[in-house]
Amino acid sequence: MKIRTELFHIRTAPLGGCSPLPHFRARKTRIMPTTESFPKELAAAIGNQVKTLPYLMQDRYTHDLEQKALKSFVLENEYLKARFLPEYGGRLHSLFDKENGRELLFANPVIKPGNLANRNAWLSGGIEWNVGNFGHCYTTCDNVYTAILQDGEGNDFLRIYEFERNKSIFWQIDFHLPESSRHLYSHVRLVNPFDRDTTVYWWTNIAVPIDPNTRVLASNKNIISFVDKVCNYESLPYIDAMPGVDATYPKNASRAFDYFIQKNKDGECTWESAAYDDGLVFYERSTAPLYYKKLFCWGEHGAGRHWQEYLSDGKGTGYYAELQAGVAPSQLHDMMFPRNSKMEWTQCFGGVKLDKDRLHDKNYDAAVAYFDEKIDERMSADAINEIHEKFCALADLPVTEESLAHLASGFGAVEILRMEKEADGKAPKNLLFPASQIGKEEKIWCELLENGKLSAPDVKALPVSYMTAKPWVRLLRDSVKDPDNRNWFSLYQFATAAYEYGTVEKLSNVAYEDEAECEAQVKTTREALLASIACAPSMWAYRNLAVLEKDAGNAELAEQYYDKAIAMDGAFDDFGIVSEYLRFLNLEKKYAKIWEIYETLPTHCKKVDRIRITVAGAAVMLDKLDYLDTFFAEKHYAIAEGETSLSNVWFDYCAKKLMKERGIESVSDEEWEALLDEVWEKYPPAYDIDFRMSLDRKNKYRVAN
């Protein structure tokens, strides 16, 4: 089997670069309570935290589609055809089953980013490879290194890889589709090359199309689920979040929901499948430690369907569910990754036609037992373990300049330079990170590494990168200790790293508990930012001070610093700071000030969807309903997963219009609530602005006719 490189023509909404602002982690870990039935050993490790830095937010896109020719790599034999997109994290866009004449994945007909990932931009469809930290991974809309290697039996195989900068680990995935194989295989290797522990997170996210009778079966029925913001432990096919209906059928989802399927025992090869009404089954099976499975559904309510259509090609398109596989019991768990070690597993993907009546047996256990028997015939535990051992050996094969087929960032090369200079860890010899990839974003860190200092650019220049890993924080701290090396930029970068830094050597639920350490971190950051401003005032340092004070609960001081930031020359060249400031003012209910600032903005800022959404919230409170008449006629593309700001503004707008119609100038809080109840009943939001993912106000949910 030979791999082909092909241009893949698809309508695409291009990404427009990254925000220059560091997106800081929350100061507290998200920890959910558990029910009495929840196993204590699982409850002991619950807790996660979204972290973006040192990566930058990818929030510069619209939904204006244009025809693009993307690079793709195609693996094909007589049974399967797989297409990978190296410019989008190595995503498997399509897996076509020739034997059954069917696409096994949801192959999205467009590439349309939405605000759902750690860095904002995310795509629906295909298979996404999530490594690093809680949430959709950092490279999901970015380039990854790609190489074409040979297995010694005449078969090419594809390798994607990168250096993950948040957890400081190297990762690779080898994809194999041997001749006469009915399975596509992925072999994952994660490497911790340092003499210090870290933590790791992994989920393979598989989007499968759903029809009215799709059923999800898995190798265990015990699950972790969520209801009323509490972690529950229960058994399929029924769950408390959707009482009275079989939760193995996505069609039964009256709301967005997910659950995490647990393992039976250590060492087993678990599986998950989607069975269709005609008897076709898509399935995946994996070796240890990829034990845990998950089902996610958007829900069959109006907004659930809207989300899927919004991320695809409009009404009537985009319907899917996600089957996922991970190394920890849920996405509220991470796991330890010991020093100087590696983790490996193999996962296979395929399709088969079976007896549809047995797959849809009303007795869930009987349906599972039937497919368990059939998957053992197709890919037994012994067989996949044997294949895994073979792929472990092939994973050692080195990438050469000749085999390298697609390039990515230069940060892996920079990290290897640091590792060699400081004799800190051993980089994997089988992965190639060319020094030629070191560009503008990476060169400043080469200067720090080589000369122990950072040169200061113009204060108006947009920052292009940050470093927040422990060794780089130390290098930054050492550089600003020398008075000759202190300038506004070196102090700004040190302050950013000092504030963001958090240990990755502990599980998330206990990693940020030391209050004294946190207070010292805040003190160090504040001092460094003030020192940066003393060297040369910059909008970037003022903005970071505003964030620091906002996080500390000092809203008045935060506002003062934001005011200083947007007063700087060039503050509106990029929309990032003012957009963030307007959202802060909205939370503080300073609607008049929002409108005042908005009116002073240049046109390119006024057109930014995130800014327009924020200003809409102020406009309704200021009775500027003309703005809203226009606003609701626009298409919006900056809404985050779970965000209900558009529908909330709609209901406020409808309530304000009722007041005008009835000649009411003001109402009490109780009367306002009564008005909202009325409009929730009478005026459901239009399709284009309805992104609600579950039941809302007083457990009501209505959609427009």
Could you tell me which residues come within 8 angstroms of residue 24 by beta carbon, excluding any fewer than 6 positions away?
53, 499, 500, 547, 551
pLDDT at 697: 56
pLDDT at 133: 87
- For 458-517, the DSSP string reads -TTSPP-----SHHHHHHHHHHHHSGGG--HHHHHHHHHHHHH---SSS-GGGTT--HHH
Q: How many residues does the chain have?
A: 705
Q: Can you give the C-alpha Rg of the chain in angstroms?
A: 26
pLDDT at 703: 47
**Residue corresponding to tokens 């008897």:** 279
Q: Find, among 478, 472, 471, 440, the residue nearest to 457 by Cα.
A: 440
Low-confidence ranges of the chain (pLDDT < 70): 694-705
What is the Cα–Cα distance from 128 to 138, expressed in whole angstroms?
11
Using DSSP, state whether 655 is helix, strand or coil. Answer: helix
The Cβ-side half-sphere exposure at 479, using a 13 Å CA radius, reads 30
Is there a contact between 102 and 351 (Cβ–Cβ < 8 Å)? yes
HEC string of 556-608? HHHHHHHHHHHCCCCCCCCCHHHHHHHHHHHHCCCHHHHHHHHHHCCHHHHCC
User: What tens digit of pLDDT does each residue of 108-150 get?
Assistant: 999 999 999 999 999 999 999 999 888 899 999 999 999 999 9
At residue 47, φ and ψ (nearest 5 deg) are 150, 135
Token pair in block for residue 390:
């073979």
What is the Cα–Cα distance from 402 to 153, expressed in whole angstroms?
19
**Residue corresponding to tokens 């802060």:** 584
User: What tens digit of pLDDT does each residue of 334-374 get?
Assistant: 999 999 999 999 999 999 999 999 999 999 999 999 999 99
Per-position b or e across 584-618, b if 16+ CB within 10 A of its CB: bbbeeebbebbbebbeebeeebeebbbbbbbbbbb
Is there a contact between 290 and 325 (Cβ–Cβ < 8 Å)? yes
**Residue corresponding to tokens 């005026």:** 683
- Using CA atoms, how far residue 326 sits from 136, 276, 322, 392, 426, in Å, is 13, 24, 13, 19, 27
Q: Residue 260: count other Cβ atoms within 10 Å of its Cβ.
A: 26
Domain boundaries defined on the chain: 4-21+56-394, 409-437, 440-571, 593-705
Fold for 4-21+56-394, please state it.
Beta-galactosidase; Chain A, domain 5 (2.70.98)
Is there a contact between 54 and 138 (Cβ–Cβ < 8 Å)? no
pTM for this structure?
0.96
User: How are beta strands 114-117 and 66-76 bridged, if at all?
Assistant: unpaired
Please state which of the four CATH numbers 1.25.40, 1.10.540, 1.20.58, 1.10.3470 is assigned to the domain occupying 440-571. 1.25.40
